Amino acid sequence: MAVEMELSGNWNYPTAIRFGAGRIGELADVCRDLGMKRPLLVTDPGLAALPMIADAAAGCRAAGLVCEVFADVQGNPVAKNVDDGVAVFRAGGHDGVIAFGGGSALDVGKAVALMVGQTRPIWDFEDREDWYTRVDVEGMAPVVAVPTTSGTGSEVGRASVITDERDHTKKIIFHPRMLPAQVIADPELTLGLPPNITAAVGMDALSHNLEAFCSPFYHPLAQGIALEGIRLVKDWLPTACREGDNVKARSHMMAASTMGAAAFQKGLGAMHALSHPLGAVLDIHHGLTNAVVMPCVLVFNRSAIEEKMTALARYLDLPDPAFQAVVDWILALREEIGVPADLAALGLREDQIGQLARMAAVDPSAGSNPLPLTEENLTTLYQMALQGRIG
């Protein structure tokens, strides 16, 4: 008789990860391991209202830590959210950050921990050339990351995506030490996510694995992680959407999300280049925009990814394993989990495409797409996605 694998473990790449149901109970220990006595817990207002956050803060206090909650974080977070968090960190004499939540809270928490030690403005640390060397590393605060959705994988990322309100662009703030020193990945924290959010963030995780898998750069470690990440999404995302309290499905989706972010240092591509302007300008959920553009981008890239898609189709055990089988699987998955098929349904208008295409062409993700991206072909991709056309 086969023995059921226990979905729990201590992993050490890309950082220290305590993975498994119930492991949020180790939060105070993890904070103490990093030398924190006064952690600032950064989260979003929705989560701050749930017992999950009150319980975590109470657990820290019971262990003798001084723990304050900062929850002034919006979806598609802006620099003001980071500035406000830095002010609260300094006023409270905090010595570390617990970044607790979905991508927005994790990104703001990581950026607060960076910025508490800097005198330059945040935009001086954008991910360009060697700008990260401007960071005063000594001043950075340690971070424990606790993801509560399975999508962004920001808990294992070395960057935060922050929107610059001056020109409505999403900018990547990067430093290698922004990788949280410790992660608690507890799939039980995701049991309450409604099906539509589970679907949207799950499609973000899929897009990270898929774009990393398709990226033309040589990175066999990331390639292997991405392939298995895609399989976990295929096997478990529908169950996670249908049975929200299925811990096994939630565990595998949390792993797939972490794997996506570990894989995408190999590169993202047109899905994210198209998605970032939609989030920055129209404030549409990042996972949904990725899901809508996903099949269009695969078809656009077909000539460069045909062999990879055939290998993927074989690994996923799809019928007639070839390029079209992967596209058909994604279309069926999207329908099964209730993700919209066009950007019009998400509020995009034709007259906005010109501005978005100009932004997408200079997005940092554009450079690792398998085929070169231009304002012209990105305009075509937006038009296809607007109407839900694939070919």
By the criterion CB under 5 A, which residues form the site for Fe ion? 204
Q: How far is the CB of 383 from Fe ion (least distance, A)?
A: 22
CA–CA distance, 261 with 94 (Å, rounded to integer):
28
- Which of residues 301 and 318 has its CB atom nearest to Fe ion in the complex? 301
Nearest to 274 by CA among 153, 389, 378: 378
**Could you tell me which of 229, 199, 189 has the C-alpha nearest to residue 98?**
189
Q: What is the DSSP string of 131-190?
A: GGGGS-GGGPPPEEEEE-SSS--GGG-SEEEEEETTTTEEEEEE-GGGS-SEEEE-GGGG
Helices 270-282, 375-387: inter-axial angle, 10-degree rounding: 70
215 vs 318 by CB, closer to Fe ion: 215
102 versus 142: smaller Cβ distance to Fe ion = 102
* In the complex, least distance from residue 18 CB atom to Fe ion, rounded to whole angstroms: 24
> Closest separation between CB of residue 150 and Fe ion, Å?
12
The residue (of 182 and 209) whose beta carbon lies closer to Fe ion is 209
Whole-number minimum distance, CB 92 to Fe ion, in Å? Answer: 32
Q: d(Cα 167, Cα 101) in Å, to the nearest integer?
A: 27
Pair 288, 334: CB distance under 8 Å: no
Q: To the nearest whole angstrom, how small is the minimum distance from the Cβ of residue 317 to Fe ion?
A: 26
How many other C-beta atoms are found inside a 10 Å radius of the C-beta of residue 154? 29
Q: Which is nearer to Fe ion, 68 or 107 (CB)?
A: 107
Q: Smallest gap, in angstroms, from Cβ of residue 260 to Fe ion?
A: 8
Q: Pick between residue 200 and residue 378 the one whose CB is nearest to Fe ion.
A: 200
Q: Are 99 and 182 in contact (CB under 8 A)?
A: no
**Closer residue to Fe ion (CB): 27 or 200:** 200
Q: Are the C-beta atoms of residues 77 and 129 closer than 8 Å to each other?
A: no
How many H helices and E strands in the chain?
14, 9
Tokens of 117: 């030690």
Give the span between the Cα atoms of 278 and 195, in whole angstroms.
22
Residue placing its CB nearer to Fe ion in the complex, 269 or 370: 269
Cβ-based neighbours of 137, under 8 Å, separated by 6 or more: 117, 175, 177
Return the residue nearest Fe ion (CB atom): 204
Min. distance of Cβ 366 from Fe ion in angstroms?
14
Residue 57 Cβ, how far from Fe ion at the closest point, in Å?
29
